[in-house]
Amino acid sequence: MINYASREINCKIVYYGPGLGGKTTNLEHVYGKVKPETRGKLISLATETERTLFFDFLPVDLGTIRGFKTRFHLYTVPGQVYYNASRKLILKNVDGIVFVGDSQAERMEANLESMQNLYDNMSEYGYDLTQMPFVIQYNKRDLPNAAPIDDLQASLNPGWEVEDPIKQRVQPDPYHAGQNLVEQLGGGEWIERAPYFEAIAVQGDGVFDTLKAVSKLVLKALA
């Protein structure tokens, strides 16, 4: 939403992913690191055991462009499967998505279930995830049982087919040398993958890289 009167560009970014994957931790790190004058309160609607019940919310200003303040509203959703009704509400009118995956090998099933749930909920609103600003964060890279990135990529970010001939050209991944976001496979078909980031959110590693990437995609979608 662009407000010409207050000269603000407001964008909504939702952190999605399985329960206990680190979505709230991402927001807490951003809250702790950005200057107090550039952020609002961190609102958490959580249970007594600090599990997100409805959402967490943090507004941050990321700077001014063409005289307009860019204000990003960051939301998390509750990860647990049984909270789908409230999770779906948060996706309404979303501008960009961060999928926070849990790198632990034994959480692969939960990751896949959550990713499928994201696609389903988005399509129920008529949104196409493959056409939107969308990045993936593989969190908890420091844990000994973390699965290799290649395995996570193969399962959670295998890519979607690029049908538009104009987009069928190699697009290097700006965040990983030697890798491509858009490329042609051996069989001739073109695929595109979402940008991905490795993170250790409790230490803040990768948190801002992820936020910057998705915010940039959201603004570029307007450009």
Partner 1 sequence: MTAGTANWSFTQDDFTAITESMRRFLGETKSLCALLVDRSGQLVTTVGDSPGLDATAFATLTAADYSANDQLAKLVGENDFSSLFHQGEKESIYVADIARRLLLVVIFDSRTTVGLVRLRMKDEIEELTLLIDRVFSRGRNGAAPAEHLLKGADDEIDKLFNW
Distance of closest approach, residue 115 Cβ to partner 1, in angstroms: 19
Distance of closest approach, residue 125 Cβ to partner 1, in angstroms: 7
x/- mask, partner 1, residues 99-138, rule CB under 8 A, reads --------------------------x-xx--xxx-----
With b for 16 or more beta-carbon neighbours within 10 A and e for fewer, the 159-197 pattern comes to beebeeeeebeeeeeeeeeeeebbbeeeeeebbbbbbbb
Q: Does 216 bind partner 1 (CB under 8 A)?
A: yes
Q: Is the dihedral of CA 204, 209, 214, 218 positive or negative?
A: positive
**Interacting positions 32-71 with partner 1 (CB under 8 A):** 40-41, 43, 45, 54-55, 57, 59, 62-63, 65-66, 68, 70
Nearest CA to 210 among 137, 151, 142, 153?
A: 137
How far is residue 190's CA from residue 178's CA, in Å, rounded to a whole number?
Answer: 17
Burial of 144 (0-12, 13-18, 19+ CB in 10 A): exposed
Q: Does 191 bind partner 1 (CB under 8 A)?
A: no
Which residues are near partner 1 by CB under 8 A? 1-6, 9-12, 40-41, 43, 45, 54-55, 57, 59, 62-63, 65-66, 68, 70, 73, 85-86, 89-90, 92-96, 125, 127-128, 131-133, 212, 215-223
